Amino acid sequence: MEEHAKRLHPFKIPFELWKLLKGNVFFIILLYVLNFGSEKMYMKVLQIAFLVYLIWNVLSIILKWYTYKYQIKDGTIYITSGLISKSYRTVPLHKVQNVQQRTTLFHKIFRLTSLTFETGMTGDQGTVPFEVISRKEAERLEVEYSSKQELQVIELDSSEERTAEDMEPINKKTIHFTPTKQEVLKASFTSLSFLALIPILATLYNTLDDFINLENAEGFFAKLLDTWWIITIVLVGLICIAVAFGIISTFVKYGKYEISSDHDRIYIKKGVLDESAFSIQKEKVQAVEITQSIIKRLLGLAEVKLISAGSTGDEELETNTLYPFLSIERAYGMVEEILPAYKVERSMESLSKQAFKIRMLRPSFFWILTTVAIYYFKPSLWYISLILLAYIYTLRILNYKNSRYLLNDEFIQFKSGSLETSLFITKRSKVIQIEVERTKLQKLFGLASIETINRSKPVHHTKLQDVSVECADEFYTWYTGRTKNIQVE
């Protein structure tokens, strides 16, 4: 039975109206609240023009919802839109690489959700969004997509000899990680989310100052805060509020976190009020990046990011990031569990002493320009130049000590960074291009810079400076062997 073309849920209209009002709230308050009843001619013209703009957008929202239709037929999504100028779009389900589901508070209230299919194409054509649909419809669309993917896997496996392990159900999921209460608590301190309370308090103070004359109260508060025990109580109270705020905001963001996988895909779910779910095909993972900020290094934590051939979801939601507060050993183990084809090697090659020398001799143009500016405008601040120079060289020393590399059969690992370090792991078959370059200064020291380029949105570049010429030659030879195990996607 052929499926009839469908529209998005009617609540798509109030959803878009809410976004319209939220995006224009400043102008609405400025024109119709603060300047209500204004007799100025230019203000009346602006009010009328903006009202016309709002009415036009409201009509546009209604017409877009009415004319936008979709249907799935023979494994392909067909989309039509437009009233006067019709547009047609077809997206084969086998081209979909990632699936993202998001349920905001608005969706929850009306038992709705949103679903986005992401392809490897660039621009607006890279995604197929269903912003407001029923949960039942979202399940149906995911089933249609999953059945198409499973059919492809079965067809692929039918041409190869399958082992007993491969014969296990493709849809069988394995849960790899759900955070404990202690891990959420640790994450609330590591993420420094409690610091977000500072701008909120500043905003509340400025808001109150608009309605209440706080200058008269400042004298009273100044006398009150002369007492040490009152200061102690206030500070303890503020610290408790900040910590509670950090714990609650972290729980709201990372609560109900779950990382799981099956034979073909990786699944990431998180959020309490604003829920999001993201899935990515394992074969589309181009590389893995494990990052550590200075605080995470001190606490032995790390964040794992998956670099995908397609879009990796909404950056604000960090949908391509595994739980960002994993212990470093758990992060390494998680990569190997979820992606058995990847192996994280703990032992890597350090840079040579020649690399240290060149980093100490390489001029810092930023420091030179800053020093010239200080000498010209404010010579009395000469000490800032020395502090900046010490800071720059400290970062260079840390970067040298943290920099590592390893060529391991079909894998390559880069590690670099000063205050924040990044460990990059990719397979030779996933590298689409390499670059080897040498500056005049590097030639004097027998060094070079190597770089890998992986398919992603945008294209992902990873560079390691000041490796030996022998390493650069080995890197080039390693990449030329790519034809032995290249994968066409």
DSSP string, 293-347: -HHHHHHTEEEEEEEESS--S-GGGTTTB--TTEEHHHHHHHHHHH-TT----S-
| Those residues with Cβ within 8 angstroms of residue 361's Cβ, 6 or more apart along the chain or in another chain | 441
Other Cβ atoms less than 10 A from the Cβ of 64: the count is 16
For the chain, which ranges sit under pLDDT 50? 1, 156, 159-168, 208, 211-212, 214, 312, 315, 317, 488-489
CA distance 233 to 242: 14
Tokens of 35: 């300047």
Question: Dihedral, CA atoms, 223, 224, 230, 234, nearest 10 degrees?
Answer: -110
Measured at the alpha carbon of residue 325, what is the angle toward residues 324 and 326, in degrees to the nearest 5?
105
Compute CA distances 319 → 177, 272, 418, 454, whole Å: 15, 15, 26, 19
Residue 400: the pLDDT is 95
Dump pLDDT digits (tens) for 399-454.
999 999 999 888 999 999 999 999 999 999 899 999 999 999 999 999 999 999 99
Cis peptide before 199 (omega within 30 of 0): no
Residue 470: the pLDDT is 93
CATH 1.10.3470.10 applies to domain 351-489: no
Residue 121: the pLDDT is 67
CA distance 452 to 448: 14
Measured at the alpha carbon of residue 453, what is the angle toward residues 452 and 458, in degrees to the nearest 5?
145
Under DSSP, the state recorded for 410 is T
Residue 167: the pLDDT is 44
Under DSSP, the state recorded for 123 is G
What does pTM read for this prediction?
0.73
Residue 123: the pLDDT is 57
CA 280 to chain centre: 14
Residue 164: the pLDDT is 44
